[in-house]
A = this chain, B = another copy of it.
Amino acid sequence: MQPDLLDLHVLHHFRTRSPLTHCMTNDVVQTFTANILLTLGASPAMVIEAEEAEQFAAMADALLINVGTLTSPRAQSMRRAIESAVAAGKPWTLDPVGVGALAFRTRFCQQVLTLKPAAIRGNASEILALAGMSAGGRGVDTTDTAARALPAAQALARQTNAIVAVTGEVDYVTDGQRTKTIAGGDPMMTRVVGTGCALSAVVAASCSLPGDRLDNVAAACGWMKRAGSVAASQSAGPGSFACAFIDALWNLEAQA
């Protein structure tokens, strides 16, 4: 990736605006998600009780909805947060973890899709399922490549007016008309839990930045790809990789 593809002006916006990012995400990736946002300069907050989620979604700059460990009470809180964010004009992002494979979360995601998400970030199986083009993956893993899901992503973007990022070995970011392609990264990223979920949080935060939303979301994908490449070259396994990945995001400008 050339330095200019790191979209350093977007990164500058990210670091200086420090978007207050309301994360309603799954139990497995809370810490990693918060740390990824913090290393990039954002301000994460996980607020989940329905009353508070509704109040906070209107105060925050951006909202992330990740259904990885969705429960009934959490689904209710999320719906109230989404409605509050939309009413306040704040962008919200959907990470449809495991959609297609599991019925409860698939119903939930189909319902909230009508509530005008700013962005959707998923793997190929999830995007195919959300677009109604697949029966879904093997649990939360993807069984399709991102490239194969690109038409579904484009259709989903046109249907919802959201920016759709379908990520994998190569990431595709589309608004239904234009599509950006982000290569790079490293397979080691699939051996640390939460790299995709954390990307969704960065996408959510980037939707609050000024400028072209397609560019902002693509920039977020590019930062993670770059950090993955840098970290893989510096680590002896997934343990040291996870630390090096956070450090690499911290040092993105120096590496450009």
Q: Which A residues fall within an 8 A CB radius of B?
A: 20, 26-32, 34-35, 38-39, 43-49, 51-52, 55-56, 59-60, 68-73, 98, 101-105, 138-141, 190-194, 235-240, 242-251
Q: Which of B39, B72, B138 contacts A239 (CB 8 A)?
A: B39
Listed by A's residue number, 17 A-B pairs whose Cβ atoms lie within 8 Å are A20-B139, A27-B46, A31-B32, A35-B193, A39-B239, A46-B69, A49-B70, A51-B103, A52-B70, A55-B103, A59-B139, A235-B247, A237-B247, A237-B248, A237-B249, A237-B250, A238-B247
How long is the Cα–Cα vector from A27 to B43 in the complex, in angstroms? 17
In the complex, the 9 A-B pairs of residues with the closest C-beta atoms, listed nearest first: A239-B246, A237-B247, A237-B250, A239-B243, A34-B193, A45-B139, A239-B247, A28-B30, A39-B238
* Contact status B238-A246, CB under 8 Å: yes
How long is the Cα–Cα vector from A174 to B104 in the complex, in angstroms? 39
Known: A20-B138, A191-B250, A238-B247. 18 other contacts (CB 8 A): A31-B31, A38-B190, A38-B192, A39-B191, A44-B193, A47-B98, A47-B139, A49-B72, A51-B103, A52-B102, A52-B103, A55-B102, A60-B139, A235-B247, A236-B250, A237-B247, A237-B249, A239-B242
* Contact status B59-A71, CB under 8 Å: no
Please state the number of chain copies in the assembly: 3
Chain B residues within an 8 Å CB radius of A102: 47, 52, 55-56
**Contacts known (A38-B193, A237-B39, A243-B239); A104 close to B51, Cβ less than 8 A:** yes
Q: Which of B45, B240, B242 contacts A140 (CB 8 A)?
A: B45
How long is the Cα–Cα vector from A237 to B253 in the complex, in angstroms? 13
**Which residue from chain B places its CB closest to the CB of A72 in the assembled complex?**
B49
**Which residue from chain B places its CB closest to the CB of A231 in the assembled complex?**
B239
Q: Least Cβ distance of A240 to chain B in Å?
A: 5
* Contact status B69-A71, CB under 8 Å: no
Chain B residues within an 8 Å CB radius of A20: 138-139, 141
Q: Which of B73, B193, B194 contacts A71 (CB 8 A)?
A: B73
Chain B residues within an 8 Å CB radius of A44: 193
How long is the Cα–Cα vector from A147 to B56 in the complex, in angstroms? 27
* Contact status A105-B34, CB under 8 Å: no
Q: Least Cβ distance of A91 to chain B in Å?
A: 17
**Which residue from chain B places its CB closest to the CB of A30 in the assembled complex?**
B28
How long is the Cα–Cα vector from A247 to B242 in the complex, in angstroms? 10
